[in-house]
Amino acid sequence: MVIELRSDTFTLPTKEMLEAVNPNYLGDDIYGEDSYVLELERKAAEIFDKEASILFPSGTMANLTAIMAHSPRGSKVIVGNESDIYIYEAGGASVCGGIIYEPINTQEDGRLLVQDIERAIPLNKEDPQFSLPSLICIENPHNRMGGRILPLSYLKEMSEYARSKELPIHMDGARIFNASQALNVEPRVISEHVDSLQFCLSKGLSAPIGSMLVGNKDFILKARRIRKMLGGGMRQAGIIARPGIVALNNMVSRLKKDHENAEKFGIGLSKIPGIECNVEKIETNIVFFRVIDERYSLIEFIKLAKYNNLNIDELGYGRIRAVTHSGIDSEDIEQALTIIKKIMK
Ligand SMILES: *Cc1c(COP(=O)(O)O)cnc(C)c1O
């Protein structure tokens, strides 16, 4: 058996998700007639205490749509230089929306500092040389910063700042339930600080496909047109919405186990000579570590692990990423540690 720690996107749908679809409830969602989609969208809006919600085939399309719905052509969107939106989404806002990315330095814990954003905002808005900012995007938890959670006090500060500048905030909350579970708060305690939020059904929640975007009614109405334009309008989308509903019902509270397993893995790693892992930085289901053994390059180490049935991946700057999820139990973690010990012998 392969231990799959490359990503929580490798989670497979549960039997219940696959068996839950009753064809009688399916309909054409472009006409707004798929009962499962309507139910999922109602549920997502309620969980995050927003007026409305819309289903997307992917988080990338949900983020792109959100940016396009908030931002006119020629405006600039403020993003983290380590954000998924900036690094992994193929420049969609520029390509499809004529929008400029303004990358801001990312702190080790995933925050973008207000003072750094301030520098990206032109002092004289009347000066026709400048493109004007239209949106601030923040990521929570932050993937490339190791699954770190944005503190609630920071969200409050950021939302007050954004309001003072009349800028909306979009949160890329691909793994937002990992944050709410780790903080022991209702998701709405996080989303109250932002205007729109994207979350993935397809990661730790283990649904096969789908992401949700939540926000106010007018914003979601705009998003519906943009989604159709981008080719994300789906017909009997209940096929993916129903597993999404099951995911929201059954797969949220168990995320805590993933966090426990991530911590257990980190603690084990930190005790292996030649491995460097800062356990204090593990806040959710993502573990970063380094190999500081001259026998192995990063790529050789990852290959050796794969040869021993352990899948992990590199995530830039010499780091290796391991992600825990519903397909990984405590014994898998022990097994993974045994494999790494063996390699490091
Ligand atoms: C996975 C992810 C996305 C994109 O989701 P896809 O469904 O893979 O397009 C966006 N942001 C973050 C932080 C992610 O981890």
Of 250, 252, 183, 187, nearest to 49 by C-alpha is 187
Question: How far does residue 345's CA lie from ligand 1's centre (Å)?
Answer: 36
Whether the pTM exceeds 0.95: the reply is yes
**How confident is the model at residue 304, as a pLDDT?**
97
Q: What is the mean pLDDT of residues 204-227?
A: 98
**How confident is the model at residue 74, as a pLDDT?**
97
Distances from the Cα of 191 to the Cα of 55, 170, 171, 284, 338, angstroms: 17, 10, 8, 18, 40
**How confident is the model at residue 105, as a pLDDT?**
98
Place of tokens 């540690």: 337
- 104-139 confidence digits (pLDDT tens): 999 999 999 999 999 999 999 999 999 999 999 999
Counting ligand 1 atoms within 8 A of each CB, the residue from 138, 143, 175, 285 with the most, and so the one to mutate, is 143
Report whether residue 173 contacts ligand 1, using a CB cutoff of 6 Å. no
Query: Quick one: pLDDT band at residue 153, thresholds 50, 70, 90?
Result: very high
The Cα–Cα gap between 277 and 149 comes to 18
Residue 138, strand partner residues:
171
Question: How far does residue 26's CA lie from ligand 1's centre (Å)?
Answer: 27
Taking CA atoms only, the protein residue closest to ligand 1 atom 5 is 59
Report whether residue 143 contacts ligand 1, using a CB cutoff of 6 Å. yes
Mean of the per-residue pLDDT values of the chain? 97
Query: Quick one: pLDDT band at residue 248, thresholds 50, 70, 90?
Result: very high
Taking CA atoms only, the protein residue closest to ligand 1 atom 4 is 59
**How confident is the model at residue 139, as a pLDDT?**
98
Question: How far does residue 341's CA lie from ligand 1's centre (Å)?
Answer: 32
- 69-79 confidence digits (pLDDT tens): 999 999 999 99
**How confident is the model at residue 84, as a pLDDT?**
98
The answer to whether 312 touches 6, Cβ cutoff 8 Å, is: yes
- 84-98 confidence digits (pLDDT tens): 999 999 999 999 999
Question: How far does residue 175's CA lie from ligand 1's centre (Å)?
Answer: 8
**How confident is the model at residue 81, as a pLDDT?**
98
Query: Quick one: pLDDT band at residue 228, thresholds 50, 70, 90?
Result: very high
- Cβ neighbour number for residue 113 with a 10 Å cutoff: 15
